[in-house]
Amino acid sequence: VRAGLIGCGSVSRWYLDYLRGSDVVELAAAADRDPELARATGLPVVSVEELLADGSVPLVLNLTPAAAHAEVTRAALEAGKHVWTEKPVAMTLAEAQELAALAEGRGLKIAAASDTFLGAALQKARELVDAGEIGEIVGASASFTTAGSEAWHPNPDHLFAAGPIYDEGVYFLTALVSLLGPLRSISAASRTVRPTRTIATGPRAGETFEAAVPTHWVSLLDFAAGPLATMTMSFEVLGTTSPALELYGTTGTLRLPFPGYYDGTLLLGRRHDGEWQTIDPGGELGLVRGLGVEDLVRAVEERREPRASAELALHGLDAMETIGRAARSGRREELRTTAARPARLAQTSRS
């Protein structure tokens, strides 16, 4: 299926590296507000309008920044195209619900990042959970902690405008829903300790900016099937030994790699003596994206929902909004949507 790229910035490389070798997606054209960036992809360069008017391209990859997602996705749907979009699907759940309704009304599909749960690591974890390898799931802990990207990123302000929940929490929430099923309620609290940050590298080195949303978040996630999880997402932590993600079961603990990538090693622990069994799920994709795009193309052919479905993306966005609502109200807040666990992939990533 011929696909056109809209947005040719930093993440587009990850898509290009993987999808150039795809046997289901043919990258046909690239559009960006900055034509130089579109040219750097090596694909035929077109304007957004030309791409949307091209009847030979039924699929658009929306790789623009978060604030542009809804506008670009709406225009693509109105032009009759299926859409793959980077996360988040829109800035608010209400806007995302409008887009999902528009797609449904036109018989089109939206699928969205995060799709890292389709990678070998999280698919292996799902297989182990479904096979009862760690018994009944009691709970989980999720942790993404960094001192902040201003030390290495030349333009870190947009990451502090999104904050740790929208920038990184989305990977953990989507992974947990794919493993444990939908969320039902959330409690949360947040704070900012160092609001003023100084860019350390690049042409803007020495420039300061203010963190627009809180930088340290602690959430309690209550899943409909019963598991309870804690989630710490922070731009305030200087080094930690906390694992990124652990599932606690009645017969063992499963330690997962950072869910922002497709691959990584799993550890299975059955006792408190620190002995862990290493599980190598295979897959060596590295820093790429595209499994969700391929699954979307297959879903359209097979007349089924894509695994990284609009329903799943909306539930993830709902969870992020609910975390914010709970932190503001100081109360446990109910989610407004639900989502079925996506079906497992029979075959994991091409390496």
Ligand X SMILES: NC(=O)c1ccc[n+]([C@@H]2O[C@H](COP(=O)([O-])OP(=O)(O)OC[C@H]3O[C@@H](n4cnc5c(N)ncnc54)[C@H](O)[C@@H]3O)[C@@H](O)[C@H]2O)c1
Name the site residues for ligand X (rule: CB under 6 A).
Answer: 6-11, 31-34, 37, 48, 63-66, 68, 72, 86-87
Considering beta carbons, is residue 41 or 253 the nearer one to ligand X? 41
Q: How many helices (H) and strands (E) does the chain have?
A: 10, 16
Considering beta carbons, is residue 17 or 222 the nearer one to ligand X? 17
Catalytic-residue membership of 109:
no
Supply the DSSP symbol for 165.
Answer: I
- What's phi and psi for 170, nearest 5 deg? -55, -40
Rounded Cα distance, 45 and 40, in Å: 9
Q: What own/partner pairs with CB < 8 Å and gap ≥ 24 does 332-338 have?
A: 332/185, 332/186, 332/187, 332/220, 332/222, 333/185, 333/186, 333/187, 334/184, 334/185, 335/182, 335/183, 335/184, 335/185, 335/186, 336/93, 337/93, 337/311, 338/182, 338/224
Considering beta carbons, is residue 10 or 250 the nearer one to ligand X? 10
Considering beta carbons, is residue 72 or 108 the nearer one to ligand X? 72
* Smallest distance from ligand X to CB 208, Å: 21
In degrees, rounded to 5, the angle at the alpha carbon of residue 86 between the alpha carbons of residues 169 and 99 is: 105
* Smallest distance from ligand X to CB 238, Å: 22
Considering beta carbons, is residue 112 or 137 the nearer one to ligand X? 112
* Smallest distance from ligand X to CB 49, Å: 10
Supply the DSSP symbol for 231.
Answer: E
Q: Which of 43, 11, 49 is nearest to 25 (CA)?
A: 43
* Smallest distance from ligand X to CB 165, Å: 13
Q: Pull the structure tokens for residue 329.
A: 């109200």
Q: Which of 326, 348, 342, 56 is nearest to 184 (CA)?
A: 326
Considering beta carbons, is residue 65 or 252 the nearer one to ligand X? 65
Considering beta carbons, is residue 213 or 224 the nearer one to ligand X? 213
* Smallest distance from ligand X to CB 267, Å: 25
* Smallest distance from ligand X to CB 159, Å: 9
Q: Residue 200: how many CA atoms within 13 Å on its side-chain side?
A: 8
Task: Give all strands (DSSP E) within the chain, no chain letters.
Answer: 2-6, 26-31, 59-62, 82-85, 110-112, 137-145, 183-191, 196-198, 208-210, 216-223, 228-234, 245-249, 252-256, 266-269, 276-279, 333-334
Q: Pull the structure tokens for residue 134.
A: 């760690």
Taking CB positions, which residue lies at the least distance from ligand X?
9
Of the residues 81, 87, 109, 124, only one is catalytic, namely 87
Rounded Cα distance, 281 and 127, in Å: 10
Active site residues: 87
